[in-house]
Structure formats: structure tokens, C-alpha cells
Amino acid sequence: MCECKQFWVQKDFNQALGCFIMLIGIVLVPLTYGLSLPVFALWDWLIYRRLPNYAVCYRCASEFRGFVIPARLKSFLHHIGLKYDRYR
């Protein structure tokens, strides 16, 4: 452990799979005249609501899963991330 006290929170979701789902939605838009957009938006929202969060250390990028995430942790903040870029 690096003893850093700053963390960000993010959803426990495979980003490559998310991009693939978006690609399918983009390809289907011309074929469905945009009617697939609400379907994919609903699907994305359901996945977002269902998946758990996990905490990530700004300094060493260690991932902490299976813990209760404090409400004070926020999503990634770039100005804090820039401060720790030199350590990675």
C-alpha cells in the first residue's frame, strides 16, 4: 500500500464491453431510425444502477472492491489525478 489518502470511485464495469454495447447502438441507429436509442439508454441506465462501485487510489491505482464506499468519495477529479501522475 502506498499510504495515499485520496481515492476516487467508479463503477465495476468492463469498459471494453461498454464500448462494444455503444458500438452496437450506433450501428443500429440508421436501421431503426433512432428508435433503438431509448432502448440502449434504458439498458445503460439499468446496468449503471445495478453494478457496484469500487474505490481506486489516485497514487498507485490500487482497486478496493467489496467494501462499503464512503459517500464523501467522488468520481475521478483531473486536478487531483495530475498531482499523482508522476508516481505512476
Q: Model confidence over 22-71: pLDDT tens digits? A: 888 889 999 998 888 888 888 888 988 999 999 999 999 999 999 899 99
Q: What is the pLDDT of residue 6?
A: 94
- Helical packing angle, 15-32 and 36-50, nearest 10°: 160
Instruction: Please tell me the pTM assigned to this model.
Output: 0.75
CA angle 71, 77, 52 (to 5 degrees): 45
- DSSP code of residue 64: E
Number of domains comprising the chain: 1
- Is residue 2, in this structure, part of any structural domain at all? no
Interatomic CA distance for residues 84 and 13, integer angstroms: 24
Whether 79 maps to a domain, the answer reads: yes
Domain ranges, residue 21: 7-87
Q: Residue 39 domain-assigned?
A: yes
**Whole-angstrom distance, CA of residue 55 vs CA of residue 29:** 35
User: In the predicted model, what is the mean pLDDT of residues 61-83?
Assistant: 93
Q: Is residue 1 part of a domain?
A: no
Q: Quick check: 88 pLDDT over 80? A: no
* Structural domain includes residue 22: yes
